[in-house]
């Protein structure tokens, strides 16, 4: 029996943010499920010298403050990403700020980087690392809303949190912090990356740096970013964050709320940008596909479009944690149906 199908109606009686907080509390209390399916060697991915048991991860946004790393690893993810974490604590935008579009399997959020701050999260990450449990951990960093020096904020986030990260994500693409997306411009992004690199330079093993971009970029802006990536200014691109666009056909009551749209409606535009990044970088930059994944077929489509790793979050709201082992098992089947023996062989297959 899928327990989530029994619990979901109860969670949907309260506000989306309250339901999310209840889910986090339940996981922290040890009430989450554990899925321990046999590992499929065909799904293992090695990137940046690190081995991912499978290519499916938890996207940032679910565990903003690094509270439930272990319970999320136990769901069968190949990696878990926490954040977005800002240098200093901040409450985010006024409530309500999270909206379910049930008919569309979509979410609109204008949370605004609500964060416990780097110091509190560093303490939790250190505890996790001391525990010695296996699992690839990504740490997603951003700037404080009131900060006047974005580069300093990203540098501080990298300095404080980089030692705990298997990879570090520079989030410059949320639509919910004023001016943040402007940091995707080539000159500003270059400055940020310099600050992050300097902050990480003291580490014996600095983590790879990935930049998370918007699906709403102009062709020119996307070209500038992929040129930086191809030149080695970052170790990967994560594609994509939420969109401010509202596609035709949305039916949810709250579809015109301000904020970033994620979930099923984001799948097509995010995958188009992913494919464009693959073509622009000739497959030589690590790409992580995010946005709208709700099935094994969705995840596999992003892999064929160029993603070496994929991640989800919004689909958990509608499908629950049993979705994770279903996707992982389905990826193995789809891979073999196409005659591939490893995930790496399938990456970018649509372009060959």
* Per-residue pLDDT reduced to its tens digit, 90-138: 999 999 999 999 999 999 999 999 999 999 999 999 999 998 888 999 9
Instruction: Calculate the average pLDDT of the chain.
Output: 94
Burial class (CB in 10 A: 0-12, 13-18, 19+), 146: exposed
Task: Please tell me the total count of domains within the chain.
Answer: 1
- Tokens 């070496």, located at residue: 308
Tell me, what's the pLDDT at 257?
97
Strand partners, 290: 311
Residues designated as active site: 174
Tell me, what's the pLDDT at 1?
41
Please give the helix or strand (H or E) that residue 137 lies within, else none.
Answer: strand 136-141
CATH at residue 332: 3.20.20.70
Residue 152 CA to residue 222 CA, distance in Å, equals: 24
pLDDT bucket at 10, cuts 50 / 70 / 90: low
Instruction: Determine contact, residues 93/151, Cβ cutoff 8 Å.
Output: no
Radius of gyration of the chain (CA): 19
Strands (E), 199-337: 209-213, 236-239, 260-263, 286-290, 309-312
| CA max distance for the chain | 53
pLDDT bucket at 145, cuts 50 / 70 / 90: very high
Q: Could you read off the pLDDT of 257-314 as tens digits, one per residue?
A: 999 999 999 999 999 999 999 999 988 999 999 999 999 999 999 999 999 999 999 9
CA proximity to 64, closest of 83, 92, 41: 83
294 DSSP 8-state letter: -
Judged against a pLDDT cut of 50, whether residue 207 lies above it is answered with yes
Strand partners, 213: 239
Instruction: Determine contact, residues 324/56, Cβ cutoff 8 Å.
Output: yes
Across 204-229, average pLDDT: 96
Judged against a pLDDT cut of 90, whether residue 317 lies above it is answered with yes
Pull the structure tokens for residue 101: 């579009």
- CA angle 227/223/85 to nearest 5° reads 80
Judged against a pLDDT cut of 90, whether residue 15 lies above it is answered with no
Judged against a pLDDT cut of 80, whether residue 38 lies above it is answered with no
Task: Determine the structural domain holding residue 99 and report its residue range.
Answer: 3-351
Tell how strand 136-141 and strand 167-171 pair up.
parallel
Say which range, 9-23, 63-77, 231-245, has the weakest mean pLDDT.
9-23
């Amino acid at each position: 029996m899928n327990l989530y199908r029994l619990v979901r109606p109860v969670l949907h009686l309260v506000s989306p943010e309250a339901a999310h907080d209840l889910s986090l509390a339940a996981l922290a209390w040890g009430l989450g499920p554990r899925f321990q399916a046999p590992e499929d060697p065909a799904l293992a991915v090695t990137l940046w010298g690190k081995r991912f048991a499978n290519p499916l991860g938890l996207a940032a946004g679910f565990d903003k403050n690094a509270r439930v790393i272990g319970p999320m690893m136990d769901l069968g993810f190949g990696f878990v990403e926490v954040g977005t974490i800002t240098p200093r604590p901040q409450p985010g935008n006024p409530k309500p700020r999270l909206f379910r579009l049930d008919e569309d399997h979509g979410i609109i959020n204008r949370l605004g980087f609500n964060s416990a701050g780097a110091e509190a999260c560093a303490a939790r990450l250190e505890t996790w690392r001391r525990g010695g449990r296996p699992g690839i951990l990504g740490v997603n960093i951003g700037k404080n809303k009131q900060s006047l020096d974005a580069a300093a904020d990203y540098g501080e986030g990298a300095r404080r949190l980089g030692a705990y990260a298997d990879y570090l994500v520079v989030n410059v693409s949320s639509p919910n912090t004023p001016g943040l997306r402007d940091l995707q411009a080539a000159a500003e992004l270059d400055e940020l990356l310099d600050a992050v690199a300097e902050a990480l330079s003291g580490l014996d093993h600095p983590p790879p740096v990935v930049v998370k971009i918007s699906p709403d970029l102009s062709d020119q802006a996307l070209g500038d970013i992929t040129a930086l990536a191809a030149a080695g200014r970052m170790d990967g691109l994560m594609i994509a964050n939420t969109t401010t666009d509202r596609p035709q056909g949305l039916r949810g009551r709250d579809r015109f709320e301000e904020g970033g749209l994620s979930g099923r409606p984001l799948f097509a535009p995010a995958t188009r940008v992913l494919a464009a990044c693959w073509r622009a970088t000739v497959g030589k930059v690590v790409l992580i596909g995010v946005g709208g994944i709700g099935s094994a077929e969705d995840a596999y489509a992003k892999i064929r479009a160029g993603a070496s790793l994929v991640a989800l979050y919004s689909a958990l709201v509608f499908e629950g944690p049993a979705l994770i082992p279903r996707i992982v098992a389905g990826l193995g089947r789809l891979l073999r149906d196409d005659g591939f023996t490893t995930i790496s062989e399938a990456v970018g297959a649509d372009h060959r």
